[in-house]
Amino acid sequence: MQQQLSKPAPVQVVVADDDAFQRAYTAAILRKLGYETREAADGLEALELVRALKARILVCDLDMPGLDGHELARRVRAEFTDYYVHILMVTGQEQNRERERALEAGVDDFMRKPLDTITLKARIRTTDRLMRHEILLAERSRVLEEAKERIEEDLRAAADAQMRMLPPPRLKVADCLFHSAFKPSNFLSGDMFAFYELSPGYIGFYAIDVAGHGVHASLMSVALGHLVTAGMMRENAFTDGRPDPARLVAQLNRRFFRDDGTEYFTMFCGILEAETEQLHYCQAGYPSPLMMSRSGAAREVGDGGFPVALLDSAEFESQVTRFGAEDILVMFSDGATEAENREGLAFGESRVEAVAASAAVMPSTIPGRIVEALTEWRAGRLLDDDLTVLVCERKHVS
């Protein structure tokens, strides 16, 4: 890392004193110590030099015509906020009260007249050390800032790739219409969902929420997205030709369970059988979706189930509920219910239901309305957890 840092520029010191002899004397000592010096006969000239040279060390007299030492220090502090200018002030023997004022104005240290080589040498060395340290820190923070930008650029690219894996926000599958909203809490999401026609009359879908969030959770959610495809579902979510989503879930549980692991996910996996108007589902720790009529009357689907990959002994059941032609199924990750307002109050199931119900006449608006309600609830603060809203509307009449 040290080698990436550029060498500090030669140190320039501005010496301000209205007394030409004093000025030349101070400058001569500084040059002997290896500094480049520029001289100013008054405060205003000194300020201009500091500005023009981007000088970081200023040695100035207290009493100067026009802009005196106090005012010069105040202006320097006000103007140069990007980097620090060290101000050493030269004062007379009897100017203790003046020193207090000078400290308030922003002067760093004092030297008494008559100035001697030893004092100046000691003070300037200290200042020099501080300055070099500041330059080093500034350089390091610049390197870190650049690294952060590169990482964020990578994350944005990864987030784009993740978004491209998802179905579009509105997609017709056979005679069903799916509407969705997907909001990662920070670039990448641990949520995943998909839906597809498995065979004529059978529509399969799932929503997954990997525990935790961020890069770690997103790696698993993307892996799951690639794994659970229509083909995989066709092969694994039926038993003797009948829909059996729990079979697929149990398989994922076997595949992802690790004795020493802490990674797991919750899932809702459903297969709609159009002819019988039945939804076969397996709820694996995912929040209970809402089965809603167009009038907004709702019931919860499922009363829970083990998450996936948390316990090797977990058993999963396929259950059945009616999914009528006019019904809407509203699925949402716990990012919706657990979102807290400024007072720490969670948004909760009942508010999700109320918002969904108010939009039930136009199911396509439900995801957007829930996102809006949550944005308002959070009052501008970002979501703490990833959010997914997935709405399935049957028998869409376009």
Partner 1 sequence: MIRMTEETNEGICVVSPGTERLTAANASMFKEEMLALVDDGKDRLVIDFSDVTFLDSSGLGALVGLLKRVGNRGDIVVCTLADNVQQMFRITRMNKVFASYADAASAVRALKERV
CB-nearer residue toward partner 1: 35 or 256:
256
- CB atoms inside a 10 Å sphere around CB 166: 17
Least distance to partner 1 from the beta carbon of 220, Å? 12
> Binding to partner 1 by residue 211, rule CB under 8 A?
yes
Query: Token pair of 382, please?
Result: 């970002």
Q: How far apart are CA 39 and CA 55, in angstroms?
A: 12
| Binding range to partner 1, per CB under 8 A, among 82-90, 197-205, 318-326, 339-347 | 339-347
Segment 370 to 389, residues that bind partner 1, using CB under 8 A? 385
The conformation of residue 149, written as its DSSP 8-state character, comes to H
> Binding to partner 1 by residue 225, rule CB under 8 A?
no
Candidates 209, 244, 353, 393; binder of partner 1 (CB under 8 A) is 209
Least distance to partner 1 from the beta carbon of 310, Å? 5
- Secondary structure element (H or E) that encloses residue 204, with its range: strand 202-210
Q: Which residue in the block uniquely carries the two structure tokens 């005012």?
A: 71
- CB atoms inside a 10 Å sphere around CB 7: 6
Q: Are 323 and 272 in contact (CB under 8 A)?
A: yes
CB-nearer residue toward partner 1: 225 or 285:
285
- Kindly give, in sequence order, each residue whose CB lies less than 8 Å from that of residue 219, ignoring residues fewer than 6 positions away: none
Q: Are 265 and 309 in contact (CB under 8 A)?
A: yes
Binding map of partner 1 across residues 285-324, x = CB under 8 A, - = no contact: xxxx--------------xxxxx--xx--x----------
> Binding to partner 1 by residue 110, rule CB under 8 A?
no
> Binding to partner 1 by residue 238, rule CB under 8 A?
no
CB-nearer residue toward partner 1: 87 or 252:
252
The conformation of residue 2, written as its DSSP 8-state character, comes to G
Q: How far apart are CA 377 and CA 385, in angstroms?
A: 14
Q: Are 319 and 278 in contact (CB under 8 A)?
A: no
Q: How far apart are CA 375 and CA 396, in angstroms?
A: 29
Least distance to partner 1 from the beta carbon of 377, Å? 15
What DSSP assignment string belongs to 260-322? T----EEEEEEEEETTTTEEEEEEEBSPPPEEE-TT--EEE-----PPBSS-TT-----EEEE
Query: Token pair of 247, please?
Result: 């079979």
Query: Token pair of 341, please?
Result: 């307002």
Least distance to partner 1 from the beta carbon of 244, Å? 19
CB-nearer residue toward partner 1: 275 or 303:
303
- Using a 10 angstrom Cβ sphere, with 0-12 exposed, 13-18 middle and 19 or more buried, the burial of residue 130 is middle
CB-nearer residue toward partner 1: 69 or 289:
289
| Binding range to partner 1, per CB under 8 A, among 32-40, 41-49, 169-177, 337-345 | 337-345
CB-nearer residue toward partner 1: 308 or 391:
308
Candidates 42, 45, 98, 334; binder of partner 1 (CB under 8 A) is 334
Least distance to partner 1 from the beta carbon of 300, Å? 10
Segment 131 to 160, residues that bind partner 1, using CB under 8 A? none
CB-nearer residue toward partner 1: 34 or 304:
304
Preceding peptide of 114 cis, ω within 30°? yes
Segment 24 to 63, residues that bind partner 1, using CB under 8 A? none
The conformation of residue 254, written as its DSSP 8-state character, comes to H
* Count of residues that interact with partner 1, criterion CB under 8 A: 27
> Binding to partner 1 by residue 344, rule CB under 8 A?
yes
Least distance to partner 1 from the beta carbon of 333, Å? 10
Least distance to partner 1 from the beta carbon of 228, Å? 19
- Which 3 state secondary structure label does DSSP give 172? strand
> Binding to partner 1 by residue 262, rule CB under 8 A?
yes
Q: Give residues in contact with partner 1 (CB under 8 A).
A: 209, 211-213, 259, 262-264, 266, 285-288, 303-307, 310-311, 314, 334, 338, 340, 344, 346, 385
